[in-house]
Chain A
Amino acid sequence: MKKFNTKKTLIVSMLLIFSIVSLLPLYWVFSTSMQLSSYQDEDLEKPTSYVNANPPKMYPMGIPEYFEHWGKAREAEKNNDLEKATYHRDIMSYIVEDTFNGFKRLFQQNNMGMWFFNSLYIGVVVTVGILLFDSMAGYVLAKKRFPGRNIIFWLIISTMMIPSQVTLVPMFIMVRDLGLMDTHWALILPDLSMVFGVFLMRQFMFSIPDELIEAAKIDGASEWKTYWSIVLPLAKPGLAALGIFTFMNVWNSFLWPIIVLNSANLYTLPVGLKTLQDANLADFKLLMSGAAIAAIPMIIVFLIFQRHFVKGLTLGGVKE
Chain B
Amino acid sequence: MKGSKASMTMNKNKGTWYLMKKNYAAYLFLLPKLVLFTTFIAIPVVWAFILSFQEYKIMGGNDWVWLANYTDVFKSEAFKKALMNTTIYTLVTVPFNVITALIAASLIHSLGRFAQSFFRAAFYLPTVASMVIIAMVWRWMYNYEFGLFNYVIGWFGFESVNWLGQSNTALWAIIIMQMLIPFGVGIILYLASMSSISESLYEAATIDGANAFQKWVKITIPMLKPSTVYLVLLSTIGSFQVFTQIILMTGGGPGYATETIVHLIYKTGFRDFEFGLAAAQSVVLFFIILVISIIQYRALRHDE
A contact set with B: CB distance below 8 Å = 8, 11-12, 14-15, 18-19, 21-26, 28-29, 32, 51-56, 132-134, 136-137, 139-141, 144-147, 149, 152, 155-156, 159, 161-174, 189-190, 192-193, 195, 198, 210, 214, 223-224, 227, 248, 251-252, 254-255, 258-259, 269-270, 273-274, 277, 284, 287-288, 290-291, 294-295, 298-299, 301-303, 306, 309-310, 313-314, 317-318, 320
Contact = CB atoms under 8 A, between A and B. Distances in A.
Contacts of B43: 170, 174
B145 to A, nearest CB: 6
10 contacts: A147-B23, A161-B293, A169-B275, A195-B37, A195-B41, A224-B25, A254-B243, A294-B132, A294-B133, A298-B128
Given A12-B115, A170-B44, A318-B185, A302 B286 contact: no
A226 B241 CA distance: 41
Contacts of A152: 30, 34
Given A133-B33, A166-B286, A255-B244, A317 B41 contact: no
A152 to B, nearest CB: 7
Contacts of B34: 137, 152
Interface stretch (B45-53, B88-96, B198-206): B45-53
A11 B29 contact: no
A190 B41 CA distance: 8
Interface of B: 1, 3-4, 8, 16, 19-20, 23, 25-27, 29-30, 32-34, 36-37, 39-45, 47-48, 51, 56, 104, 107-108, 110-111, 115, 117, 119-126, 128-134, 136-141, 143, 145-148, 151, 154, 180-182, 185, 188-189, 192, 230, 234-235, 237-238, 240-241, 243-244, 247-248, 262, 265-266, 269-270, 275, 278-279, 282-283, 285-286, 289-290, 293
Given A22-B180, A25-B138, A147 B16 contact: yes
The prevalent SS among residues of B at the interface is helix
B130 A193 contact: no
Contacts of B145: 52, 54
B192 A299 contact: no
Contact of A291 (B27, B136, B148, B247): B136
Contacts of B282: 163, 165-166, 168-169
A112 to B, nearest CB: 14
B180 to A, nearest CB: 6
Given A147-B23, A195-B37, A288-B140, 5 more contacts: A12-B111, A23-B122, A144-B26, A254-B244, A317-B230
Contacts of B180: 21-22
Question: Main SS of chain A's interface residues?
Answer: helix
A193 B37 contact: yes
Given A146-B23, A161-B293, A254 B132 contact: yes
A193 B40 contact: yes
A302 B133 contact: no
Given A21-B180, A52-B145, A306 B121 contact: yes
Given A140-B30, A274-B248, A22 B136 contact: no
A159 B32 CA distance: 17
A299 B124 CA distance: 10
B126 A169 contact: no
Contacts of B29: 136-137, 139-140, 144, 223, 227
B188 to A, nearest CB: 5
A291 B133 contact: yes
Contacts of B138: 25
B77 to A, nearest CB: 21
B133 A295 contact: yes
Contacts of B104: 15, 18
B40 A171 contact: yes
A288 B137 contact: yes
Contact of A302 (B30, B125, B270): B125
B111 A163 contact: no
Contacts of B289: 161, 163
A25 B269 contact: no
A144 B275 CA distance: 42
Contacts of A133: 32-33, 36
Contacts of B269: 168-169, 172
Contact of A189 (B40, B125, B237, B243): B40
A103 to B, nearest CB: 15
Nearest to B193: A314
B25 A14 contact: no
Contact of A54 (B140, B146, B293): B146
A286 to B, nearest CB: 11
A193 B39 contact: yes
B30 A136 contact: yes
Contacts of A19: 119, 122-123, 182
B20 A169 contact: no
B187 to A, nearest CB: 10
A163 B286 contact: yes
Pairs of residues from A and B, 4 with the lowest C-beta to C-beta distance, nearest first: A170-B47, A146-B23, A252-B130, A167-B44
A55 B146 CA distance: 7
Contacts of A15: 104, 107-108, 111, 119
Nearest to B37: A193
Given A168-B278, A169-B278, A161 B133 contact: no
